[in-house]
């Protein structure tokens, strides 16, 4: 066997990641049984949004972003169902394994990235009592809150002008100033992990 073939075989046989919980998550065929919320919180708190191109001493983590998205959703839909809030909190959860890839690069990769991402998200949903594929109206509600969060992050952290952000992400969701200041001040990884776990606990209670 050539070295090249051996490398390819080894790569195929190791399509998984070892988690700090001890779980071994298969990227190609993820099992809900190998999904732990502690692993998700730990990973997302250490993954940077905007490829790290944000102001502040700390990265703006995906964990903090998901909390912002859920906050925007509650602001816009005060009576939103608990399961929808949970889905919003978990909408980027696959990134604890595969990282946060900016949208332009996702487009370059076409469908391959999305296939892995969807499989992981389905396993995560099943693990926490959500349907593998969300109803379209819930998906759209989460996307709307995600765009609102992206507008805030783009203008306050990532150097976008308001007109550019409006064109790409839509309108400012209009969060209260105190909430806005807190959620748009990049936290330490430890704080982001802790607050993600606390919000998760509150949503599923």
> Could you give the domains of the chain?
31-204 (1.10.3210.10)
- pLDDT, average across residues 56-73: 97
111: confidence class by pLDDT, cuts 50, 70, 90: low
Write the CB contacts of 188 (distance below 8 Å, at least 6 apart in sequence). Answer: 58
List, for residues 6-44, the tens digit of each pLDDT value. Answer: 444 455 566 899 999 999 999 989 999 999 999 999 999
pLDDT at 108 over 90: no
- pLDDT, average across residues 115-122: 93
Write the CB contacts of 18 (distance below 8 Å, at least 6 apart in sequence). Answer: 24
**Structure pTM?**
0.89
pLDDT at 100 over 90: no
């Amino acid at each position: 066997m050539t070295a090249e073939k051996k490398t390819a075989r080894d790569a195929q046989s190791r399509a998984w990641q070892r988690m700090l919980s001890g779980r071994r998550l298969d990227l190609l065929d993820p099992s809900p049984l190998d999904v732990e919320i502690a692993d998700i919180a730990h990973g997302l708190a250490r993954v940077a949004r905007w490829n790290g191109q944000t102001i502040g001493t700390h990265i703006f983590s995906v964990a903090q972003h998901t909390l912002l998205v859920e906050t925007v959703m509650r602001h816009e839909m005060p009576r939103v169902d608990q399961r929808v809030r949970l889905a919003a909190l978990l909408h980027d959860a696959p990134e604890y394994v595969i990282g946060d890839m900016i949208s332009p690069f996702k487009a370059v990769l076409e469908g391959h990235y999305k296939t892995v991402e969807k499989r992981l998200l389905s396993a995560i949903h099943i693990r926490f009592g959500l349907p593998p594929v969300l109803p379209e109206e819930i998906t759209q509600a989460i996307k709307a809150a995600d765009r609102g969060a992206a507008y805030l992050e783009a203008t306050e952290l990532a150097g976008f002008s308001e007109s550019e952000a409006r064109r790409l992400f839509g309108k400012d969701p209009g969060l209260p100033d105190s909430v806005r200041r807190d959620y748009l001040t990049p936290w330490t990884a430890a704080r982001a992990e802790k607050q993600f776990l606390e919000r998760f606990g509150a949503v599923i209670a």
